[in-house]
């Protein structure tokens, strides 16, 4: 793409800020590159301005527009499978949320496992060891020694 | 919404069915010198108030604290609790089962005045959380019995 070192000056001219507008006009007449650049700037500005314009409904279309709205309001709702699926999903979701809360708030009752003495060892000669549960839920381990004192 | 519910259900199921098998256990112990002194009312040192009910069925009416304590112990960590000059307690939590019971290997070691050591009592217990286990029958050189009450959770 060809460029001209006066393009910045052309930009300033385009924005109405050129120090010497007459010189820029003369340059535009001579320089094809700057002329094309000025045209591009104009096209961009026009495009932006066009996009700012709100669409309007022409007067002849207005009645048609309003009748469309009225038709939409008065139309009877059609039976829709989409609605059925939405309803089913909602019910399913409610059940699952209920189950989730139930599992969280009331965890499954586990079997009550009591304390269990799995093995007992002693170095005492002749000693016996018994164990038994007590009424308060504790467990007693009772070693009965036979006077086997450690020296 | 449905996805959220399924996630909640999954989390709840995991939460309710997966036992905590990794975290350390809280271990409490109360070692007492128990004697029968024909008192009208049983006598407990204040440190032993927590075990009054647990030892109510034992044939003693006087309990003096030897050592009490509470400690956090990791699984497979062997922790020692010296009780007095005669006895010491070793505790090693082995595992937790699906019902949150804790398997604990314990050793009560006896040391003689001459420095000899032997295993006085070494039970391997699957303990129900918050339920006490009491050990009795070991003689104390100062008279009476050693009553050792333990709890793991």
DSSP state of B52: T
d(CA B145, CA A104): 47
Q: Which residues contact B83 (CB under 8 A, 6 or more apart)?
A: B31, B66, B67, B89, B146, B148
Could you give the ipTM of this predicted complex? 0.86
| Cβ-contact A124, A145 below 8 angstroms | yes
Please judge whether A139 and B116 are an interchain contact, meaning their C-beta atoms are less than 8 angstroms apart.
no
Of A84-88, B13-17, B67-71, the range with the lowest mean pLDDT is B13-17
Q: Decide if B73 contacts B79 (C-beta within 8 A).
A: yes
Global pTM?
0.59
Residues facing residue B68 across a β-bridge: B30
Cβ–Cβ under 8 Å, residues B89 and B81: yes
Residues of B in contact with A91 (CB under 8 A): none
CB atoms within 10 A of CB B145: 21
A100, A110, A149, best to mutate vs chain B, most B CBs in 10 Å? A100
B64-82 pLDDT tens trace: 999 999 999 999 999 999 9
Out of A66-80, B7-21, B118-132, the most confident range is B118-132
Confidence at residue A150, expressed as pLDDT on a 0 to 100 scale: 53
What are the chain A neighbours of B120 within 8 Å (beta carbons)? 122-124, 143
- pLDDT (tens digit per residue) in A17-68: 888 899 999 999 999 999 999 999 999 888 887 777 666 666 667 777 788 8
With contact defined as beta carbons under 8 Å apart, do B101 and B127 qualify? yes
- Distance, in Å, from the CA atom of B130 to the CA atom of A29, rounded to the nearest integer, reads 99
Could you tell me the pLDDT band of residue A97, with boundaries at 50, 70 and 90? confident
**A111: chain B residues, CB-CB within 8 Å:** 99
Residue A102 pLDDT:
76
């Amino acid at each position: 793409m060809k460029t001209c070192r006066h393009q910045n000056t052309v930009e300033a001219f385009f924005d109405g800020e050129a120090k010497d507008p007459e010189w820029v006009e003369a340059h535009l007449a001579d320089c094809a590159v700057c002329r094309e650049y000025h045209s591009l700037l104009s096209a961009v500005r026009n495009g932006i301005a066009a996009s700012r314009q709100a669409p309007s409904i022409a007067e002849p279309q207005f009645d048609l527009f309003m009748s469309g709205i009225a038709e939409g309001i008065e139309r009877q709702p059609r039976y829709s499978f989409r609605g059925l699926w939405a309803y089913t999903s909602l019910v399913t979701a409610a059940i699952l949320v209920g189950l989730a809360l139930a599992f969280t708030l009331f965890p499954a009752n586990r079997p009550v496992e009591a304390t269990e003495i799995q093995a007992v060892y002693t170095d005492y000669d002749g000693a016996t060891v018994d164990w038994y549960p007590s009424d308060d839920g504790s467990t007693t381990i009772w070693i009965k020694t036979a006077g086997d004192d450690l020296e | 919404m449905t996805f959220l519910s399924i996630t909640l259900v999954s989390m709840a199921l995991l939460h309710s069915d997966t036992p905590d098998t990794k975290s350390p256990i809280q271990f409490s112990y109360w070692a007492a010198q128990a004697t029968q002194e024909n008192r009208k009312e049983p006598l407990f040192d204040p440190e032993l108030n927590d075990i009054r009910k647990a030892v109510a069925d034992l044939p003693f009416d006087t309990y003096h604290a030897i050592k009490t304590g509470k400690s956090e112990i990791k699984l497979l960590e062997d922790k020692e609790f010296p009780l007095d000059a005669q006895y010491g307690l070793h505790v090693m939590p082995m595992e937790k089962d699906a019902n949150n019971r804790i398997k604990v290997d314990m050793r009560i070691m006896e040391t003689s005045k001459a420095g000899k050591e032997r295993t006085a009592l070494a039970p391997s217990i699957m303990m129900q959380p918050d339920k006490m286990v009491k050990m009795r029958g070991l003689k104390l050189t100062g008279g009476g019995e050693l009553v050792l009450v333990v709890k793991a959770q």
